[in-house]
């Protein structure tokens, strides 16, 4: 009954589903307190109090037909202007409302821009390890995802291989900064080098290459590290943003695309993206949440909570002899597996009720992703279990 394109997705999904079911089974058997689920990317820090207050105020103050009604498919103009102004203030950019397209989260934003840009057979480059859905998003529009292999020492982009893999069918590049699953942040130097390569290749090949920066973790950066704003490095840039993590609203599906004036054919691309957003069936980003964003444009989640988790888990695992690049952003550790087959390592962890995701899911075998968007208590309780795993591998 289902389409040929969906079949591999359904088959592949079973593995993830099996893991989810396993977590539920373990929790039922040993009690939720005694299962250490580090597999999910669901924020455990609540939305800032201003968000719920804004919701209540909006419902009390605004006309229902306006608050819950249709607006332009791109989103309310004043919301888009507020987003543009806020970015301009923070990053010295010069966006206006017609650079901002409100979307049903970053995942939908990525779909919208890929539908806007891709012809069948076009190539989209990305850097391993990468969020596994990128492949699905690109294939939705009959594009091919081309993966640059990881630098497993630093998890910084392998720019030499990147330059080699750009070809006449390259239409876009997706980066994720700060990065899921490694937590690394690309510096200004790296973005400058990447932009230089892209400009050179555009000229050499006589093509346009769009750099799509997927930034749901932008506000989750630690140690005072700066996450550079990518449009300032390269003209053909599109930003995909989400409030899922920055305001802990993942279920609400609210984010935006930035399509700057500097992008080639910017106005046409923006117009087409608005249509893509409509015909993909989103029509517009959820209206009440758009109004919330406008009122909470300067709100932040409690980053301290994630930072405490990061330090506890990172230091704890290091002391036990595990190896890991200390992340500067997002809420993941990407830990080296003590044996080459990281799936066997995941299985060894599971024996101690620890659930982590194999790096193969991010096109980077030999590593596992450990999410620390969990309670501090779960991390504390898990460390003795991690110790047992470390002892089994002779790490401590």
Q: Within 188-227, which residues bind its own copies (CB under 8 A)?
A: 208, 210
Q: Angle CA(8)–CA(14)–CA(15) in degrees, nearest 5? A: 105
303 lines the binding site for its own copies (CB under 8 A): no
Among 29, 52, 88, 168, binds its own copies (CB under 8 A): 52
159 lines the binding site for its own copies (CB under 8 A): no
111 lines the binding site for its own copies (CB under 8 A): yes
- In the complex, the smallest distance separating the C-beta of residue 65 from its own copies, rounded to whole angstroms, is 5
67 HSE (CA, 13 A, CB side): 14
Among 35, 74, 110, 258, binds its own copies (CB under 8 A): 110
- In the complex, the smallest distance separating the C-beta of residue 148 from its own copies, rounded to whole angstroms, is 22
Beta-sheet strand order (sheet of 100-103): 100-103, 255-258, 237-242, 210-214, 170-176, 123-127, 144-148
CB 379 within 8 A of CB 309: yes
Q: Tell me which stretch binds its own copies (CB under 8 A): 50-58, 175-183, 218-226, 310-318.
A: 50-58
- In the complex, the smallest distance separating the C-beta of residue 307 from its own copies, rounded to whole angstroms, is 18
2 lines the binding site for its own copies (CB under 8 A): yes
CB 103 within 8 A of CB 257: yes
265 lines the binding site for its own copies (CB under 8 A): yes
Q: How far apart are CA 184 and CA 33, in angstroms?
A: 30
- In the complex, the smallest distance separating the C-beta of residue 289 from its own copies, rounded to whole angstroms, is 7
Per-residue binding string, its own copies, 17-46, x by CB under 8 A, is -----------------------x-xxxxx
Q: How far apart are CA 190 and CA 36, in angstroms?
A: 36
Q: Angle CA(234)–CA(239)–CA(240) in degrees, nearest 5? A: 155
Among 27, 193, 205, 280, binds its own copies (CB under 8 A): 280
CB 371 within 8 A of CB 39: yes
CB 183 within 8 A of CB 333: yes
Among 3, 224, 340, 384, binds its own copies (CB under 8 A): 3
Per-residue binding string, its own copies, 357-396, x by CB under 8 A, is ----------------------------------------
Among 19, 47, 185, 364, binds its own copies (CB under 8 A): 47
272 lines the binding site for its own copies (CB under 8 A): yes
When the beta carbons of 92 and 281 are compared against its own copies, the nearer one is 281
Site for its own copies in 121-150 (CB under 8 A): 133, 136-137, 140-141
- The helix (run of H) or strand (run of E) holding residue 311 is helix 303-319
Q: Is 211 helix (H, G, I), strand (E, B) or coil?
A: strand
Q: How far apart are CA 375 and CA 380, in angstroms?
A: 9
Q: Which class for 161: exposed (0-12), middle (13-18), buried (19 or more C-beta within 10 A)?
A: middle
282 lines the binding site for its own copies (CB under 8 A): yes
Q: Tell me which stretch binds its own copies (CB under 8 A): 92-100, 286-294, 327-335, 337-345.
A: 286-294
Site for its own copies in 234-263 (CB under 8 A): 248-253, 263
Per-residue binding string, its own copies, 62-101, x by CB under 8 A, is -xxx-xxxxx------------------------------
10 lines the binding site for its own copies (CB under 8 A): yes
- In the complex, the smallest distance separating the C-beta of residue 381 from its own copies, rounded to whole angstroms, is 19
5 lines the binding site for its own copies (CB under 8 A): yes
User: What is the DSSP code (8-state) at residue 187?
Assistant: -
- In the complex, the smallest distance separating the C-beta of residue 285 from its own copies, rounded to whole angstroms, is 8
**Which residue has tokens 């103050």?**
61
118 lines the binding site for its own copies (CB under 8 A): yes
The residues near 161 (Cβ < 8 Å, ≥ 6 apart) are 148, 149
- In the complex, the smallest distance separating the C-beta of residue 257 from its own copies, rounded to whole angstroms, is 12
The residues near 13 (Cβ < 8 Å, ≥ 6 apart) are none
* Rg, the chain, Cα only: 21
Instruction: Say how many Å lie between the first and final Cα of the chain, rounded.
Output: 53
Q: How far apart are CA 204 and CA 163, in angstroms?
A: 12
């Amino acid at each position: 009954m289902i389409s040929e394109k969906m079949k591999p997705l359904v088959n592949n999904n079973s593995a993830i589903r099996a893991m989810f079911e396993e977590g539920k089974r373990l929790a039922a058997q040993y009690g939720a307190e005694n299962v250490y689920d580090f597999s999910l990317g669901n924020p455990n820090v609540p939305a800032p109090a201003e968000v719920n207050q804004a919701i209540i105020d909006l419902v009390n103050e605004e006309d229902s037909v306006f608050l819950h009604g249709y607006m332009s498919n791109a989103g309310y103009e004043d919301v888009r202007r507020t987003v543009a102004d806020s970015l301009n203030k923070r990053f010295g950019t010069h966006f206006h409302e017609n650079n901002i397209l409100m979307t049903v989260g970053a995942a939908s934003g990525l779909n919208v821009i890929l539908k806007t840009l891709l012809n069948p057979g076009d190539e989209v480059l990305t850097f391993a390890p990468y969020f596994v859905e990128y492949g699905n998003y690109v294939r939705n529009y009959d594009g091919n995802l081309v993966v640059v292999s990881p630098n497993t020492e630093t998890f910084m982009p392998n720019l030499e291989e990147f330059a080699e893999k750009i070809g006449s069918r390259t239409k876009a590049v997706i980066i994720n900064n700060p990065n899921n699953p490694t937590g690394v942040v690309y510096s200004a130097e790296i973005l400058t080098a990447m932009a230089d390569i892209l400009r050179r290749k555009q000229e050499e090949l006589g093509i346009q290459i769009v750099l799509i920066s997927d930034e749901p973790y932008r506000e989750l950066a630690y140690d005072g590290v700066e996450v550079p704003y990518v449009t300032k490095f390269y003209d053909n840039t599109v930003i995909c943003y989400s409030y899922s993590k920055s305001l802990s609203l993942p279920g609400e599906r609210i984010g935006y695309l930035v399509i700057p004036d500097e992008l080639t054919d910017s106005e046409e691309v923006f117009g087409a993206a608005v249509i893509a957003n409509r015909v993909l069936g989103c029509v517009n980003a959820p209206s009440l949440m758009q109004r919330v964003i406008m009122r909470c444009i300067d709100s932040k989640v409690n980053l301290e909570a994630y930072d405490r988790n990061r330090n506890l888990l990172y230091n704890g695992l290091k002391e036990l002899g595990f190896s890991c690049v200390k992340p500067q952003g997002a809420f993941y550790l990407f830990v080296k597996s003590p044996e080459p087959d990281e799936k066997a390592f995941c299985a060894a962890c599971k024996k101690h009720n620890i659930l982590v995701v194999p790096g193969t899911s991010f096109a980077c075998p030999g590593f596992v992703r450990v999410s620390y968007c969990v309670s501090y208590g779960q991390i504390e309780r898990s460390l003795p279990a991690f110790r047992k795993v470390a002892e089994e591998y002779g790490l401590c």
